[in-house]
Amino acid sequence: MEPKALKKLVESISNTVKSFKKSEVECLIRLFHSLVERADVRHDNVGLDRNAFRGILHSIFGMTDDMLMNRVFFAFDKDNDNCINVKEWVKGLSVFLRGTFEEKLKFCFEVYYLNGDGYISREEIFDMLKNSLHQASTEEETDEGIKELVDITLKKMDYDNDGKISFADFEKAVREERLLLEVFGPCLPEAQNCLDFEALAFKHILTSSF
């Protein structure tokens, strides 16, 4: 990338993402382009496709859950073009690495409502809990146990008793009990993974041209 174009992009992103210094934004842009080149993704839409992004979530941030990695991808991909561009990359990482409690709250809720309607339904809770519980019992026994967990979850988090969890429900429950932030499965990286990533991205600035 030409220095002038890079500087302009850094300025543009820095205006909307306040949690990184300009030098850090530049590092993340350089890393993004390096990862895109390494992933050898399609050239008509420069960015990270779902497989490339999932690889990053797994190798750098230690995520292993297929369903949740897909959901994190969609939470990063704000324009829904099935490709994460450089601005979405920096914005998403700002929540991952430096996000406030409120930002992380909104991010987790976004990951958890699977059909995009702004609510976490009973069926979605069932699917996510089933996905995160790997039990040796028969599927029928497992399903019955999960249905009980869904009922318990809704009783605890569905404050307006409409059979689904709104953002207001989720926020109230999590503010009362912080452990509920990732109640339906881990969608934020562990602190150590964040530190390791920052060491990689910010202390060893990529010098290769792209």
Mean pLDDT, range 52-80, rounded to an integer: 93
Across residues 52-56, what is the average pLDDT? Answer: 95
- What's the pLDDT at 137? 55
pLDDT digits (tens, 9 = 90+) for 85-111: 999 999 999 999 999 999 999 999 999
Q: Write out pLDDT tens, residues 153-187.
A: 999 999 999 999 999 999 999 999 999 999 999 99
Looking at residue 141, its pLDDT comes to 66
In the predicted structure, residue 113 carries a pLDDT above the cut 80: yes
pLDDT at 210: 42
Label residue 142 by pLDDT band (50, 70, 90).
confident
pLDDT surpassing 60 at residue 151: yes
Residue 206 is predicted with a pLDDT of 44
Report yes or no on whether pTM surpasses 0.85: yes
Q: How far is CA 157 from CA 118, 127, 168, in A?
A: 15, 17, 10
Q: What is the pLDDT of residues 6-49, one digit of tens each?
A: 999 999 999 999 999 999 999 999 999 999 988 765 555 579 99
Task: State the Cα–Cα distance between residues 86 and 107, nearest whole angstrom.
Answer: 18
The residue-averaged pLDDT of 146-156 equals 94
